[in-house]
Amino acid sequence: MPKEMTTSELAKRIVNHEEIFILDVRNTDEFDDWKIEGGKVEVINEPYFNLLDGVDPIVDKLPKDKEIIVVCAKGGSSRMIAEMLEEEAGFTNMMNLEGGMKAWSEHLEPVKVGDLKDGGALYEFVRLGKGCLSYFVESNGDAAIIDTNRMISIYESFAAERDVQIKHLIDTHLHADHISGGRELAEKVGGTYYLPPKDATEVTFDYTPVEEGRDITVGNTTVKVQPIYSPGHTIGSTSFIIDDQYFLTGDILFVESIGRPDLAGKAEDWVADLRNTLYNKYKELSEDLLVLPAHYSFAKELGEGGLVSARLGHLYKVNSGLQVDDEGEFRKMVTENLPPQPNAYEDIRKTNMGKINPENEEQREMEIGPNRCAVHE
Amino acid sequence: MDISVNKVLDAKGLACPMPIVKTKKVITNLEPGQVMEVQATDKGSTADLKAWADSSGHQYLGTIEDGDVLKHFLRKASEEEAKEETKHEEVVNLDDLRKKIEGNEKISILDVREPAEFAFGHIPGAVNIPLGELEQRFEQLNQDDELHIICRTGNRSDLAAQQLTEKGFTNVKNVVPGMTKWEGPLNKN
């Protein structure tokens, strides 16, 4: 019988850069749209329905001496194929990814970023299946989460394990690629939900505005979250500096790229804001700040233990989005050659504004697929 | 809408891979050209059935959502339709047919595909009598009309044209190649 592998085990192997071989048996369109990547992952695709008469077509493409993880949409078809490979072709190292890509898209892997000066700590939650990053700040029994994802129970268990109370739920901007869990979690724990007011003009619920100069205190006033208004990706996009060390840049600045300004269909209008933020406002900040973005796009961005981060000064040297001196060229870069819009992005925005309230299953469907918030070279 | 089919498979409540595993078994026992309906609740079944049909040579006709149930329609591959020669001599190509329709000429179109194929797209105004039922139903047609017979690729319509000629129809044209290449207006039921 093939062994079951949990998404958590797979995530740990990926962030530890272990060699992994994956056979993805979903249909090829889905595979081409979105697959498991990262570390030393090798992945091949052969739809399960082409193997119903036997696994011969793929036997020669599979390593005999390595563990093979079979993956499908929900875990049923991959189990069947893993069994067939054992029974018909004598493979002995078969694993089945429990829950398939559906579970994978929802897995959050917590990675410690570092300690805070007052004894608290900062964690980055890496959503390997989608490239989303969220942040958990704990200090003296209190916690704040920035860019909370939809799977709020994961943060709740994390807080319970550490015996801290979640008090502040902060979104750097109105997300268009994933559904925010901030509002729901705030309601559940009696916390405060913060949004930049310029991104919240159409929301249907009450929120607390984040504004430059109005710090948010987590714990015993020792950890300060300083909102820095930095329009560009959305008009309200806000970045935060935590503990004078950590710089949460939302979807403005990534490790390998910069944010795309067009998710609300306003690329042309916001190019100047984005440029001003990246080429002027951020430049005035300390080069030693550790940039922690809300997304990553490439598996190679996963650093030690899976942490996605970079020093601001380093990014000014290497990030291609920060090397464009000519304004016209910059405009061209961020308004042309844009990757396709994230799947279902309009519905996701409406959900985050409270305008529509899809069922859980529907929310999951809306989020399936890769993240496409970044401008690539 | 109800579409008559040769076989209905109930795969409701079954998770992937079962809808396709069962479909594959059922379709094996169908005659070439017959149509089946697969009722499923697994959302992924649409994309998978479509891709599977493409790779196995069967025809995926379309899907109707009926509440939570997805009704997928498939037609079993038929090698006979792959051959290209036709016997009925009077043929009309798609361009000419389109010009006649757009010129508001009063013409009759007989679509001899299966009801499920017809349901997912046919020329507005076409009458549907599947080839297999033509023998019993040809009297519904008016012998004096200029009759344009169409199917998917021109083969079934060729057989239908021959059949009707034998019955004494004198103004019968086979439309070639057929609906696969039709780019004019389409109606769906």
Q: Could you report the per-residue pLDDT of A34-84, keeping only the tens digit for each?
A: 899 877 899 999 999 999 999 999 999 999 889 999 999 999 999 999 999
Q: What whole-number distance in Å separates Cα of residue B116 and Cα of residue B73?
A: 7
Q: Left, alpha or beta for B74 (phi > 0: left; psi -120 to 50: alpha)?
A: beta
The answer, yes or no, to whether residue A221 has pLDDT greater than 80, is: no
A132 catalytic? Reply is no
A52 in contact with chain B, both atoms CB, cutoff 8 A? yes
Catalytic residue among A72, A73, A310, A373: A72
Q: What mean pLDDT comes out for the span A120-124? A: 95
A108-375 belongs to CATH 3.40.50.2000: no
Q: Map out the domains of chain B as residue ranges.
A: 7-77, 80-181
Chain B residues within 8 A of A73 when measuring between CB atoms:
16, 44
The least confident of A75-84, A255-264, A345-354 is A255-264
| pTM for the whole structure | 0.82
Q: Map out the domains of chain A as residue ranges.
A: 3-104, 108-375
Q: What whole-number distance in Å separates Cα of residue A51 and Cα of residue A58?
A: 8
The least confident of A115-124, B99-108, B134-143 is B99-108
Q: What mean pLDDT comes out for the span A111-135? A: 93
Residues recorded for chain A: 377
Check if the interface score ipTM surpasses 0.90: no
Topology (CATH) of B80-181: Oxidized Rhodanese; domain 1 (3.40.250)
Query: Quick one: which H or E segment has residue B64?
Result: strand B59-66
The tens digit of pLDDT for each residue in B54-81 reads: 999 999 999 999 999 999 999 998 876 7
Q: Distance (Å) from the C-alpha of residue B2 to the closest C-alpha of chain A? A: 28
The answer, yes or no, to whether residue B157 has pLDDT greater than 70, is: yes
Q: CATH class for domain B7-77?
A: alpha beta
Q: How many CB atoms lie within 10 A of CB B34?
A: 17
CB-CB: which of A30, A48, A76 is closest to B47?
A: A30
Backbone angles phi, psi at A322, to 5 degrees: -105, 5
User: Of A24, A25, A27, A33, which to mutate for an interface test with B (greatest number of B Cβ within 10 Å)?
Assistant: A27
Q: What whole-number distance in Å separates Cα of residue B16 and Cα of residue A251?
A: 36
Domains A3-104 and A108-375 share a fold: no
Q: Distance (Å) from the C-alpha of residue A71 to the closest C-alpha of chain B? A: 12
Chain A residues within 8 A of B52 when measuring between CB atoms:
27, 47, 49-50
Please, which pLDDT band fits residue A264 given cuts at 50, 70 and 90? low
Residue owning tokens 């061209």: A332
A346-A349-A353 Cα angle (round to 5)? 140
Query: Cβ separation of B20 and A52 shorter than 8 Å?
Result: yes
CB-CB: which of B24, B44, B51 is closest to A52?
A: B24
Q: Are strands A216-218 and A19-24 parallel, antiparallel or unpaired?
A: unpaired
Please provide the CATH number assigned to the domain covering A3-104.
Answer: 3.40.250.10
Please, which pLDDT band fits residue A339 given cuts at 50, 70 and 90? low
The conformation of residue B84, written as its DSSP 8-state character, comes to: -
Query: Cβ separation of A29 and B47 shorter than 8 Å?
Result: yes
3-state secondary structure chain A: CCEEECHHHHHHHHHCCCEEEEEECCCHHHHHHCCCCCCEEEEEECCHHHCCCCCHHHHCCCCCCCCEEEECCCCHHHHHHHHHHHHHHCCCCEEEECCHHHHHHHCCEEEEEEECCCCCEEEEEEECCCCEEEEEEEECCEEEEECCCCCHHHHHHHHHHHCCEEEEEECCCCCCCCCCCHHHHHHHHCCEEEECHHHCCCCCCCCEECCCCCCEEECCCCEEEEEEECCCCCCCCEEEEECCCEEEEECCECCCCEECCCCCCCHHHHHHHHHHHHHHHHHHCCCCCEEEECECCCHHHCCHHHCCCEEHHHHHHHCHHHCCCCHHHHHHHHHCCCCCCCCCHHHHHHHHCCCCCCCHHHHHHHHCCCCCCEECC
Query: Cβ separation of A49 and B17 shorter than 8 Å?
Result: yes
The answer, yes or no, to whether residue A331 has pLDDT greater than 50, is: yes
Q: What mean pLDDT comes out for the span B125-142? A: 93
